[in-house]
């Protein structure tokens, strides 16, 4: 036994089943004594189980090989069409053989079977879709059903590959005649049967008249000409006079053609017309006749016929079904024999459950196709004449009134009152004000259309009308096509009125500037502000700068034009008037000749300055001395400044020169030292 | 199947013997499946490729010059198809993990994630380890059958399995440990 460090490898091999019996026993014995190694083995086992569990959905299907072979067979079929020569040759002999065998079977009542792997009669016959008509079973008997197939596959599943050569060795290529029971016993026969079953399956599917389990004793009747699975659908769009009559007639036709009306979906439009969708199902052979008769119900607006060939899908489904069923049988057998470990059996169980589910799904799909193929569908769309005629007219009215009122608040309130008095509703109302005292009101309202003219008149009296638009519209509803219906009612909708009321615009008719001189600047400033506030003015700017030596102040304000004169006089009292100017402007006249609707305002700007300071002039000796000293000091400072400028200009050059000299000296010394060393 | 037997079956299949070909299919399908799975890492694509491979092999059986080289020929066809499938899959889903694989795989959250991790880890294993390991864990084949399929003496197969499992464990250590301890 290996040491602990290497035990990991041993454990992996043990778990993988790679160890021989003695080695296994040795491992088991060692693990019983050695804790760490038992741990390692447990880990190895857990890892292996985890991998197995994780990967299980990825594992190959149990019937991998069968599926490959099936695919090969499926792909093989078209290829066999090509060598017609040999087939024709075979056919001749076949016909003869077929007659003989059939006769024989009739007489003996036993199943006859040719077992010649070289000619593989069954395979060839079963797979020639010659002239589009399979010659299935012309005298050849079908293999025994599922039973025999199961057995042989089951044997193969167990991996008895060694058996294959022996089987082949026993294949002597001579015909055999066996009974049904005997066939189940002979492996070779079963193998052959399976191969034939694969070839026959699809033709058997094609025939599919509920005779998949047909007894192999009787010769099979010739196949029907039409083996294809075709879904036929039609879409018919008709314009009819009356829906009820058309529906009754359609139902009649469907019955007469051995079909039925599977569904109806009707809708009555607001203009009283009907629209409907009928689903009519008829047998495929009656499809054309039914369609032709349904067309006569009215004017054909649109028609389309679709044909879908689902033969391939269908046959594939059948093939899959057969193989799944065979698989289930095999799995059942395995379970019955109960050979193999519990794990294997459980896997088989799981696989079987999955396969049965798949079988159910396939069966469902087949049923679905059977239904579609068995009955053609005609989707009948019926529309009554003049479906698109308008059923009413709608009159709408929208108005917008813009006006200017001297008192917008009052006008705003009044407008709402007018609407309510007329029985209308105020939908929305808003008043917005700006800092300069201007305001704008908005009223949205709905009133009855008849009341609209009087309301409009009343509203116009609220102020100066700037804009007035009224928009009438008449719309047809439900109208797409067809003539206008004479008696279509007219519906008048409520008028939507929007009223905009604005205060008159501001016009500055007076502008004044006033300069006051006052020894007490601050006092005057306060007096000016007070004057404005008392007059209901609006101070826009006010500033007071008070320095020790000199103070000044200014104020800019707006006042109403009527109060301008009074305010201006009041302002003049705040100090000595140094300068005053006023400018008068007249507002532009309204084009209608009415007095202009504006709010006149005045703008006044007041500046307050202190009286000028007066200093006496100086004469005499002291002034001369002061002038001289200051002059010489100025000269001294000027020369120092120049000195610094000169120095800063020269300094970099001096530094550069010194550096260069220093470097030169170093170099020379180094060279001298080098010379000395040599 | 012994190499001599295989050569004999291949020769007969080349001549058009379906029974011989069927035997070859039964002898090699699982191995081929495991091989393709390592390249494609998706069970459904793998089956497609395997089926397609045998179909090609059968239809172009005349091209097999040396019946002794049947296996090599089979695998080369499968490899080509697998690559093509992989390219197609990548083109189909360009956003899919073309995988600059992270150094340490993230801890798995669910079985799907586990499966993805294991698939990737299997994909990273060198071919000679991957085949026996895949045959063991995915096909669930017993040890002796793996030996027969791979036609390999006991000693070398042991080495491959041991090293393959060890490599796999090293790759998957974080994910597995979490699973294991969480369980």
* pLDDT in the model for residue B178: 64
Parallel, antiparallel, or unpaired: how do β-strands A299-309 and A274-282 relate? unpaired
Show Cβ contacts of residue A353 under 8 Å, excluding neighbours closer than 6 positions: none
Q: Which of B30, B137, B161 is opposite residue A52, by nearest beta carbon? A: B137
Q: Which of A46, A51, A347 is opposite residue B118, by nearest beta carbon? A: A51
Task: Kindly state whether A168 is in contact with chain B, defined as any CB-CB distance less than 8 angstroms.
Answer: yes
Q: How far apart (Å, rounded) are the C-alpha atoms in residues A249 and A6?
A: 90
Q: To probe the interface with B, which of A55, A67, A152, A173 has the most B CB atoms within 10 Å?
A: A55
Cβ distance of B26 and A65 shorter than 8 Å: yes
Residues from chain B contacting residue A18 (CB–CB below 8 Å): 143, 154, 157-158, 161-162
A351: left (phi over 0), alpha (psi -120 to 50) or beta: alpha
A503 three-state secondary structure:
coil
Cβ distance of A60 and B168 shorter than 8 Å: no
Torsion of CA A598, A600, A603, A604, to 10 degrees: 180
Residues from chain B contacting residue A188 (CB–CB below 8 Å): none
Mean pLDDT by 10 residues, chain A (678 residues): 67 81 84 83 81 74 80 65 45 46 43 40 37 39 40 40 40 41 43 46 40 39 54 87 86 87 80 82 87 87 82 84 87 77 79 87 87 86 75 82 86 90 88 79 89 88 85 72 61 86 84 87 87 85 77 87 86 86 79 71 88 71 89 95 95 95 94 86
More reliable by pLDDT, A635 or B179: A635
* pLDDT in the model for residue A349: 82
Cβ distance of B145 and A60 shorter than 8 Å: no
* pLDDT in the model for residue A590: 66
Task: Kindly state whether A156 is in contact with chain B, defined as any CB-CB distance less than 8 angstroms.
Answer: yes
Angle, in degrees to the nearest 10, between helices B18-40 and B43-59: 140
Residue B109: pLDDT band with limits 50, 70, 90 = low
Segments of A593-673 assigned E as strands: 599-609
Among chain A residues, CA nearest to B33: A60
Whole-complex ipTM: 0.74
A59: left (phi over 0), alpha (psi -120 to 50) or beta: beta
Cβ distance of A55 and B46 shorter than 8 Å: no
Residues from chain A contacting residue B5 (CB–CB below 8 Å): 165
Contact present, A609 and A519 (Cβ < 8 Å): no
A542-551's contacts with Cβ under 8 Å and 24+ in sequence apart are: A546/A521, A546/A522, A549/A613, A550/A610, A550/A613, A551/A521, A551/A522, A551/A610
* pLDDT in the model for residue A390: 67
Cβ distance of B23 and A164 shorter than 8 Å: yes
* pLDDT in the model for residue B113: 73
Sequential DSSP letters for A305-371: EEEEE-HHHHHHHHHHHHHHHHHHHHHHHHHHHT-S-HHHHHHHHHHHHHHHHHHHHHHHHHHHHHH
**Residues B74-101 pLDDT 10s:** 888 888 888 888 888 777 665 544 444 4
Q: Which helix (H) or strand (E) holds A508?
A: strand A506-517
| Cα–Cα–Cα angle for B124, B130, B131, rounded to 5 degrees | 150
Sign of the dihedral defined by the CA atoms of residues A462, A464, A467, A471, in that order:
positive
A102-111, A294-303, B44-53, B111-120: lowest mean pLDDT where? A102-111
* pLDDT in the model for residue A670: 93
Sign of the dihedral defined by the CA atoms of residues A329, A335, A341, A343, in that order:
positive
Sequential DSSP letters for chain B: --HHHHHHHHHHHHTT-HHHHHHHHHHHHHHHHHHHHHHH--HHHHHHHHHHHHHHHHHTGGG---GGGHHHHHHHHHHHHHHHHHHHHHHH-TTS------SSPPPP-SHHHHHHHHHHHHHHS-HHHHHHHHHHHTS---HHHHHHHHT--HHHHHHHHHHHHHHHHHHHHHHHHHHHHH-
* pLDDT in the model for residue A387: 66
Among chain A residues, CA nearest to B28: A65
Parallel, antiparallel, or unpaired: how do β-strands A551-560 and A599-609 relate? antiparallel
User: If we measure between CA atoms, which residue out of B37, B46, B33 comes closest to residue B125?
Assistant: B37
Q: Which helix (H) or strand (E) holds A512?
A: strand A506-517
SS3 content of chain A, % helix, strand, coil (to 5): 50, 25, 25
Cβ distance of A68 and B50 shorter than 8 Å: yes
Nearest-Cα distance to chain B for A56, in Å, is 6
The answer on pLDDT for B36 being more than 80 is yes
A138, two tokens: 């012309």
Q: How far apart (Å, rounded) are the C-alpha atoms in residues A155 and A85?
A: 37
Among chain A residues, CA nearest to B8: A165
Residue B111: pLDDT band with limits 50, 70, 90 = low
DSSP A218: S
Task: Kindly state whether A346 is in contact with chain B, defined as any CB-CB distance less than 8 angstroms.
Answer: no
Nearest-Cα distance to chain B for A11, in Å, is 9
Among chain B residues, CA nearest to A47: B176
Q: Which helix (H) or strand (E) holds A61?
A: none
A68, two tokens: 């490959």
Q: How far apart (Å, rounded) are the C-alpha atoms in residues A148 and A330?
A: 11
Cβ distance of B30 and A68 shorter than 8 Å: no
- N-to-C CA span, chain B: 42
State the count of interchain CB pairs (< 8 A) between A and B: 110
Task: Kindly state whether A565 is in contact with chain B, defined as any CB-CB distance less than 8 angstroms.
Answer: no
Residues from chain B contacting residue A159 (CB–CB below 8 Å): 145
The whole-model pTM stands at 0.32
Q: To probe the interface with A, which of B7, B57, B111, B136 has the most A CB atoms within 10 Å?
A: B136
Contact present, B45 and B87 (Cβ < 8 Å): no
B151: left (phi over 0), alpha (psi -120 to 50) or beta: left
Q: How far apart (Å, rounded) are the C-alpha atoms in residues A482 and A239?
A: 13
Residues from chain B contacting residue A67 (CB–CB below 8 Å): 47, 51
Cα dist. A329→A271, A326, A586, B22 in Å?
A: 65, 5, 113, 22
Q: How far apart (Å, rounded) are the C-alpha atoms in residues A672 and A144?
A: 121
Cβ distance of A168 and B140 shorter than 8 Å: no
Q: How far apart (Å, rounded) are the C-alpha atoms in residues A187 and B81?
A: 36
Cβ distance of B27 and A13 shorter than 8 Å: no
Cβ distance of A55 and B138 shorter than 8 Å: yes
Other C-beta atoms within 10 Å of A305: how many? 14
Cβ distance of B161 and A18 shorter than 8 Å: yes
Q: To probe the interface with B, which of A5, A8, A14, A65 has the most B CB atoms within 10 Å?
A: A65
Q: To probe the interface with B, which of A18, A116, A117, A156 has the most B CB atoms within 10 Å?
A: A18
Contact present, A605 and A513 (Cβ < 8 Å): yes
């Amino acid at each position: 036994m290996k040491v602990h460090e290497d035990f990991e490898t041993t454990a992996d091999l043990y778990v993988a089943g790679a160890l021989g019996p003695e080695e296994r026993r040795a491992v088991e014995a060692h693990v019983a004594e050695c804790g760490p190694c038992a741990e390692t083995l447990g880990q190895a086992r857990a890892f292996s189980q985890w991998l197995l569990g994780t990967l299980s959905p990825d594992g190959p299907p149990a019937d991998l090989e069968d599926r490959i072979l099936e695919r090969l067979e499926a792909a093989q079929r078209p290829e066999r069409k090509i060598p017609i020569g040999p087939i024709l040759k075979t056919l001749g002999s076949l016909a003869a053989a077929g007659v003989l065998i059939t006769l024989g079977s009739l007489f003996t009542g036993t199943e006859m079977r040719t077992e010649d792997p070289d000619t593989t009669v069954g395979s060839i016959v079963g797979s020639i879709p010659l002239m589009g008509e399979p010659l299935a079973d012309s005298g050849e008997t079908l293999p025994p059903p599922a039973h025999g197939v199961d057995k042989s596959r089951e044997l193969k599943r167990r991996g008895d590959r060694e058996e294959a050569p022996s089987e082949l060795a026993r294949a002597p290529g001579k015909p055999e005649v066996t009974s049904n029971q005997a066939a189940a016993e002979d492996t070779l026969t079963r193998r052959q049967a399976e191969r034939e079953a694969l070839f026959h399956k699809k033709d058997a599917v094609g025939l599919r008249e509920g005779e998949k389990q047909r007894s192999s004793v009787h010769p099979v009747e010739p196949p029907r000409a039409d083996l294809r699975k075709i879904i036929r659908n039609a879409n018919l769009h008709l314009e009819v006079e009356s829906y009820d009559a058309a529906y009754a007639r359609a139902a009649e036709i469907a019955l007469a053609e051995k079909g039925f009306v599977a569904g109806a979906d009707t809708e009555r439009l607001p203009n009283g017309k009907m629209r409907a969708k009928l689903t009519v199902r008829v047998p495929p052979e009656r499809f054309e006749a039914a369609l032709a008769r349904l067309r006569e119900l009215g004017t054909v607006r649109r028609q389309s016929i679709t044909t879908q060939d689902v033969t391939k899908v269908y046959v594939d489904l059948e093939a899959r079904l057969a193989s799944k069923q065979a698989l289930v049988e095999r799995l059942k057998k395995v379970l019955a024999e109960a050979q193999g470990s519990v794990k294997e059996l459980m896997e088989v169980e799981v696989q079987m459950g999955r396969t049965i589910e798949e079988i159910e799904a396939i069966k469902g799909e087949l049923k679905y196709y059977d239904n579609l193929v068995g009955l053609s569908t005609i989707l009948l769309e019926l529309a009554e004449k003049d479906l698109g005629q308008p059923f009413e007219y709608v009159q709408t009215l929208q108005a917008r009134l813009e006006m200017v009122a001297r008192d917008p608040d009052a006008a705003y309130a009044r407008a709402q009152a007018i609407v309510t008095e007329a029985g209308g509703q105020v939908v929305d109302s808003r008043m917005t004000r700006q800092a300069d005292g201007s305001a704008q009101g908005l009223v949205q309202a709905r009133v009855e259309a008849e009341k609209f003219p009087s309301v409009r008149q009343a509203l116009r009296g609220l102020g100066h009308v700037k804009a007035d638009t009224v928009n009438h519209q008449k719309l047809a509803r439900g109208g797409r096509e067809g003539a206008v219906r004479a008696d279509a009612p007219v519906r008048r909708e409520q008028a939507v009125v929007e009223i905009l009321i604005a205060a008159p615009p501001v016009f500055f008719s007076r502008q004044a500037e006033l300069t006051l001189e006052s020894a007490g600047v601050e006092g005057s400033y306060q007096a000016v502000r007070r004057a404005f506030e008392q007059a209901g003015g609006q101070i826009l700017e006010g500033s007071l700068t008070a320095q020790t030596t000199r103070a000044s102040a200014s104020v800019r304000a707006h006042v109403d034009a009527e109060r301008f004169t009074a305010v201006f006089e009041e302002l003049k009292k705040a100090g000595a008037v140094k300068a005053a100017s006023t400018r008068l402007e007249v507002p532009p006249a309204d084009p209608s000749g009415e007095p202009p609707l504006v709010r006149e305002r005045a703008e006044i700007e007041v500046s307050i300055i202190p009286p000028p300071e007066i200093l006496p002039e100086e004469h005499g000796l002291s002034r001369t001395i002061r002038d001289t000293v200051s002059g010489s000091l100025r000269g001294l400072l000027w020369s120092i400044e120049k000195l610094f400028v000169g120095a800063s200009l020269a300094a970099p050059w001096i530094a550069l020169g010194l550096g260069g000299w220093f470097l030169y000296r170093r170099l020379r010394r180094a060279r001298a030292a080098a010379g000395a060393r040599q | 199947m012994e190499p001599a037997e295989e050569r004999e079956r291949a020769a007969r299949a080349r001549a058009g013997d379906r029974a011989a070909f069927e035997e070859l299919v039964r002898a090699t399908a699982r191995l081929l499946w495991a091989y393709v799975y390592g390249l494609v890492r998706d069970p459904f694509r793998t089956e497609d490729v395997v089926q397609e491979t045998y179909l090609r092999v059968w239809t172009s059986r005349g091209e097999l010059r040396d019946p002794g080289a049947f296996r090599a020929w089979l695998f080369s066809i499968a490899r080509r198809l697998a690559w093509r499938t992989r390219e197609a899959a990548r083109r189909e889903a360009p956003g899919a993990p073309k995988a600059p694989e992270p150094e340490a795989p993230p801890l798995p959250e669910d079985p799907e994630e586990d499966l993805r991790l294991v698939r990737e880890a299997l994909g990273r294993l060198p071919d000679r380890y991957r085949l026996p390991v895949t045959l063991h864990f995915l096909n669930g084949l017993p040890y002796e059958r793996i030996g027969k399929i791979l036609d390999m003496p006991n000693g070398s197969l042991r080495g491959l399995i041991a090293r393959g499992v060890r490599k796999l464990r090293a790759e998957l250590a974080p994910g597995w440990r979490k699973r294991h301890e969480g369980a």
